[in-house]
Homo-oligomer: A and B are copies of this chain.
């Protein structure tokens, strides 16, 4: 099928760019010896996860057991949940996947660890539980080295689980690269301090799991790192481009939308809005705009209704026609994919693959 036959709005993935992005991160991982465990929250699509594994990733990360269940059913057999579980029902659901996949998880409380260990023990499983450390993002994670050590020691005494290492998420690094650079020494100080406290007490820290896409190609600069969990690198987005972490040419995903109204002067309305792009704002710049119009970077994608995209073309020299199609790279690729059940893999102008976003909406 030619790309022009797709109804709009549609999400398309340039397969050449996707394959290059996957291969590049795999090569970086092989070169540095820092293992790659991609987070599938970005694409939620088993076929892309399998491409990542085929290129050398050691397994995947997921946020929720519901996502992990979809991936395990599709044959992904090494799954780390980068999310605390504190409810028995959810822990049992997660541990039921141990029939199909090697499991591991991170927590920041003994309550979560106990809940998971109980479900694990009931199945005769020995779950690696990592301690989540807050390295400056201020979301989850124990706050300092003594707390990390205390939790590691508590976990190691549990039946059905053992201390698996340290995990952190440097979410505050999704900012302009200069600011991310300034955070790096603080991240390293936090990790080094916890690492030393735990190893000093005689516990082995087998895994230090960090990462995320912005700084992924600089993982050697992160202390003690053994594996990274970048999610966005196969696809990239406007946040990464504006932040200085990727180029527009490295963005594999875009939305094809149609111009449906030009009745208001200096404005053009597209047939995709927040239910197509999500309303996630730009984190790496001035917070303005919802995407880049590939054909016209001078157009400002200033507003979103649910089904309308609002372009300001005051500064544009381009002529817009009703019915024409534009290609837009969204602010946040994870959130955009999450709005859709289907994404189209294209090569040039041909639709080569249709993927079901099988783990979309699995928030439980």
- Residues of chain A at the chain B interface (Cβ within 8 Å): 5, 7-10, 41, 63-64, 83-87, 89-90, 93, 108-109, 111-112, 115, 132, 134, 138-143, 147, 171, 258-265, 267, 269, 271-272, 274-276, 278-281, 303, 305-308, 310, 322-323, 334-335, 338-341, 361, 363-364
What's the Cα separation between A310 and B75 when bound, in Å? 33
Tell me if A260 and B307 are in contact (CB < 8 A).
no
Query: Please, which residues of chain B bring their CB within 8 A of the CB of A261?
Result: 84, 108-109, 139-141
Tell me if B143 and A63 are in contact (CB < 8 A).
no
Given contacts A7-B89, A87-B258, A305-B171, contact A269 B364 (CB under 8 A): no
What's the Cα separation between A272 and B361 when bound, in Å? 11
What's the Cα separation between A8 and B263 when bound, in Å? 44
Tell me if B263 and A307 are in contact (CB < 8 A).
no
Query: Please, which residues of chain B bring their CB within 8 A of the CB of A258?
Result: 86-87
Tell me if A279 and B276 are in contact (CB < 8 A).
no
Query: Please, which residues of chain B bring their CB within 8 A of the CB of A84?
Result: 260-261
Query: Please, which residues of chain B bring their CB within 8 A of the CB of A338?
Result: 275, 306, 339
Tell me if A264 and B306 are in contact (CB < 8 A).
no
What's the Cα separation between A339 and B306 when bound, in Å? 12
Copies per assembly: 2
Given contacts A278-B274, A322-B109, A335-B306, contact A134 B263 (CB under 8 A): yes
Given contacts A63-B306, A338-B275, contact A269 B140 (CB under 8 A): yes
Please name the residue on chain B nearest to A307 by beta carbon.
B63
What's the Cα separation between A131 and B260 when bound, in Å? 14
Tell me if B361 and A264 are in contact (CB < 8 A).
no
Tell me if B323 and A264 are in contact (CB < 8 A).
no
Query: Please, which residues of chain B bring their CB within 8 A of the CB of A108?
Result: 261, 263
Tell me if A278 and B276 are in contact (CB < 8 A).
no
Smallest CB–CB gap between A151 and chain B, Å? Answer: 9
What's the Cα separation between A280 and B305 when bound, in Å? 10
Given contacts A87-B258, A260-B85, contact A7 B306 (CB under 8 A): no
Given contacts A8-B87, A263-B141, A322-B112, contact A339 B310 (CB under 8 A): no
Tell me if B322 and A339 are in contact (CB < 8 A).
no
Please name the residue on chain B nearest to A82 by beta carbon.
B307
Please name the residue on chain B nearest to A273 by beta carbon.
B363
Query: Please, which residues of chain B bring their CB within 8 A of the CB of A143?
Result: 263-265
Query: Please, which residues of chain B bring their CB within 8 A of the CB of A363?
Result: 9, 272, 275-276, 307, 339-340
Please name the residue on chain B nearest to A171 by beta carbon.
B305
Smallest CB–CB gap between A225 and chain B, Å? Answer: 21
Tell me if A275 and B90 are in contact (CB < 8 A).
no
What's the Cα separation between A86 and B281 when bound, in Å? 29
What's the Cα separation between A269 and B269 when bound, in Å? 37
20 contacts between A and B (CB under 8 A): A9-B363, A64-B307, A86-B259, A115-B323, A134-B264, A138-B267, A139-B305, A139-B308, A139-B310, A140-B263, A141-B263, A141-B264, A272-B363, A275-B335, A275-B338, A275-B361, A275-B363, A306-B335, A339-B363, A341-B361
Tell me if B307 and A112 are in contact (CB < 8 A).
no
